[in-house]
Chains A and B, each alone.
Chain A
Amino acid sequence: MGAGGIGDCRPNGVISLKSVSKIYANGARALHNVDLEIGAGEFVFLVGQSGAGKSTLIKLLYREETATRGLVMVNRFNLMRLRNYQIPAYRRRIGVIFQDFKLLENKSVFENVAFAQQVIGKPKRERKANTDKMLALVGLSHKARAFPGELSGGEQQRVCVARAMINNPILLIADEPTGNLDEATAWEIMRLLYELNRLGTTVVMATHAMHIVRKMGRRVIRVEGGRIMGEKPEVKL
């Protein structure tokens, strides 16, 4: 990683956004002067209505989009100065899960999870050991040979979590991970995310599910009209 991609951040901070604005090519202003600090090991909810800017914020974090102005630092990577060839190295340090799972239908559960290590060139033996470990962590060892079509929504999302976590990321970004799940299954996933967070992974989750947010009692950041309109600190339950 060249010097351009790495810079100083607050000592324990994982995410630091300063005066960040994002204006899309069509002129739509998605974020306006956003300041945000998220420390290591935090579990943070991003809430707000559709079009509020949550997804743009999430996309900035996994460097799908680049901010028009401001500073975006994630885990000592300055995303504003990250070159295209540096993006893979950055993405290996984070994990991302989505509402629509994004699993490969023609690959088994095991292959889907191992794929994340295969494409970064990990040797076969190491891949197998890590995949077995991750499947055990998400409670899917017994479904290793099943295909995504044979799994429930909750199980599919757990496969995604296993895939996102297999490269030991310091940060897990979740974009509406419970959006396609029923109440009980959604809580299954939340329990898993809670567990991963307890083990030290910073979690940033965008969601509409306010009942989950309330019940989890974690730090909440409310985004409206591209601005951060309020924060609710973590409540230890």
Chain B
Amino acid sequence: MFWNSLGFVFKQSFVSLYRNFWLSFASILTSMLALTLLGFALLFLANADHFAQSMESQVEIAAFIDETVDEAGLEDIMRAVRALDAVAEVTLTTKDQGLREWIPDDAARASYLEDVGGINPIPNKITVTAREAEAVAGLAESVLDMAGVYRVNFGEDFLAPMLRLTASLRWVGLAVVAAFALATMLLISLNIKTNVQTREKEIQIMRLVGAENFLIRGPFFFEGLLIGLLGALLAIIIVGFIYTWLTEYIAANLVFVPVVSERSTLYFVLEIMAAAGMTLGAVTSAVSVRRFLKF
């Protein structure tokens, strides 16, 4: 008896989808768009994090030390910098090392020193590596506040706008996903409302002859679930193919761009999309059935 009822529920769900074909099609398409955007937004976030992590290793703070600071003072400054929370590593480049790095050729260096009156103008430099890219700006400020440090250099011109852009894109992405999710919910709801109206007489008869509520509400619930699931399947195909193609293209042509190419990340995102699709469909239909199908 249970299997007969379940068969009836599934059959009715498919019949309803077919009966309002264009509305169902629009709902599936909208949920596909919402979930595709969700998929790309999640992959974008994963890549932004990955990018930020790779930036972290590249972005260092160069702190330049005043001429008046002696060797002991330099040690004090390094100790103070090491004690800061966000610091991963601290290295010293002395005046001489700095000059040697700048002018590697011994003769040229000697000639230069002679030109500037024998005084090496290159300051002592401390290179500070931060643990997180987000901490770089704050860390640079703390280092600059220390006595004896007269200037700090870090990739602020590049990193700060980059982090700001990532944060805004995150919000814009979420807003677009939410807008499409809302549109999907409205369309699924409209679908169910139309089907309830179309099947009004049938539902009336079902109630009269003693059909269980599961049998009356079930088809509408599964219909929403199916719309969400079909939208998710299409979105998974689109996101899966495009992202795979994109990572392969970047790996082959733009080797310097750091991109998440692990399959596990992509599969995780695709799983989230499937779950989100079904949840979206099921929750919307459950709410709509309660709203439109009064007992």
Residues of chain A whose beta carbon lies under 8 Å from any beta carbon of chain B: 62, 84-85, 87-93, 96, 102, 104, 115-116, 118-124, 163-164, 167
> Of B202, B207, B210, which contacts A104 at CB under 8 A?
B202
Closest beta carbon of chain B to A74's beta carbon, Å: 13
Interface 1/0s, chain B 1-42, versus A by CB < 8 A? 110110010000000000000000000000000000000000
- A88 / chain B contacts, CB cutoff of 8 Å: 207, 210-213
Which of B4, B201, B202, B213 has a CB less than 8 Å from the CB of A121? B4
**Residue contact B5 to A121, C-beta cutoff 8 Å:** yes
| B215 partner residues in chain A, CB cutoff 8 A | 119, 121
The 10 closest A-B CB pairs, nearest first, are A92-B210, A91-B210, A119-B211, A121-B1, A116-B209, A88-B210, A121-B5, A121-B4, A119-B206, A88-B212
- DSSP majority for the B interface? helix
Q: Which of A102, A122, A167 contacts B4 (CB 8 A)?
A: A122
Listed in ascending order, the chain B residues whose CB lies under 8 Å from chain A are 1-2, 4-5, 8, 201-202, 204-213, 215, 295
The contact sample of 23 A-B pairs, CB cut-off 8 A, is A84-B213, A84-B295, A88-B207, A88-B210, A88-B211, A90-B210, A91-B207, A91-B208, A92-B209, A93-B210, A102-B201, A104-B202, A115-B205, A116-B209, A118-B4, A119-B210, A120-B210, A120-B212, A121-B8, A121-B215, A123-B1, A124-B4, A164-B209
Q: Is the CB of B213 within 8 A of A85?
A: yes
Residue of A nearest to B212 (CB): A88
Q: Which of B201, B206, B210, B295: most chain A Cβ within 10 A?
A: B210
Give the residue of B201, B209, B295 whose beta carbon is less than 8 angstroms from that of A119: B209
Cα A91 to Cα B209 in complex, Å, equals 6
Alpha-carbon distance A104/B12, docked complex (angstroms): 15
Which residue in B1, B202, B205 is a CB contact (below 8 Å) of A122? Answer: B1
Give the residue name and chain of the A residue nearest to B2 (CB): A121
Q: Which residues of B contact A91 (CB under 8 A)?
A: 207-210
Q: How far is the CA of A84 from the CA of B213 in the complex (A)?
A: 9
Q: Which of B202, B204, B211, B295 contacts A120 (CB 8 A)?
A: B211
B contact residues around A122 at 8 Å (CB):
1, 4
The docked-state distance in angstroms from the alpha carbon of A91 to that of B295 is: 14
In the assembly, what is the distance between CA of A120 and CA of B215, in Å? 8
Contact A167 B2 (CB under 8 A): no
| Residues of A close to B212: CB separation below 8 A | 88, 120
* Nearest chain B CB to A45 CB, angstrom units: 21
Pick from A84, A123, A167: contact of B209, CB under 8 Å: A167
Taking CB as reference atom, which chain B residue is nearest A89?
B210
The answer for the CA separation of A92 and B5 in the assembled complex, in Å, is 16
CB distance from B234 to the nearest CB of A (A): 30
Known: A92-B210, A119-B215, A121-B2. 17 other contacts (CB 8 A): A84-B295, A88-B207, A91-B209, A92-B209, A102-B201, A102-B204, A102-B205, A102-B208, A104-B205, A118-B8, A119-B8, A119-B209, A119-B211, A120-B210, A121-B1, A121-B5, A123-B4
A96 and B208: CB pair below 8 A? Answer: yes
Chain B residues with CB under 8 A of A92? 209-210
Please give, as numbers and ranges, the residues of chain B lying within 8 Å of A85 by CB-CB distance. Answer: 213
Complex Cα spacing A156 to B251, Å: 72
With a cutoff of 8 Å between Cβ atoms, the chain A residues found around residue B205 in the complex are 102, 104, 115-116, 163
Closest chain B residue to A105, Cβ basis:
B201
Nearest chain A CB to B7's CB is how many angstroms away? 9
A residues within 8 A CB of B1? 121-123
The distance in angstroms between the C-alpha atoms of A93 and B208, with both chains bound, is: 11
Query: Most chain-B Cβ atoms within 10 A of its Cβ — which of A88, A90, A92?
Result: A88
Nearest CB to that of B207 among chain A residues? Answer: A91
Residues of B close to A167: CB separation below 8 A = 209-210
Tell me how far the C-beta of A236 lies from the nearest C-beta in chain B, rounded to whole angstroms: 33
A104 near B2 with CB under 8 A, answer no
Contact call A104/B8, Cβ cutoff below 8 A:
no
- Complex Cα gap A123–B4 (Å): 7
* Distance in angstroms between the alpha carbons of A123 and B8 in the assembled complex: 11
B8 to nearest A CB, angstroms? 6
Residues from chain B with a CB closer than 8 A to the CB of A119 are 8, 206, 209-211, 215
> In the complex, which residues of chain A have a beta carbon less than 8 angstroms from the beta carbon of B209?
91-92, 115-116, 119-120, 163-164, 167
Residue of A nearest to B202 (CB): A104
Bound together, the chains give a CA A19 to CA B206 distance in angstroms of 31
A111 to chain B, nearest CB (A): 11
In the complex, what's the smallest C-beta–C-beta distance from B295 to chain A, in angstroms?
6
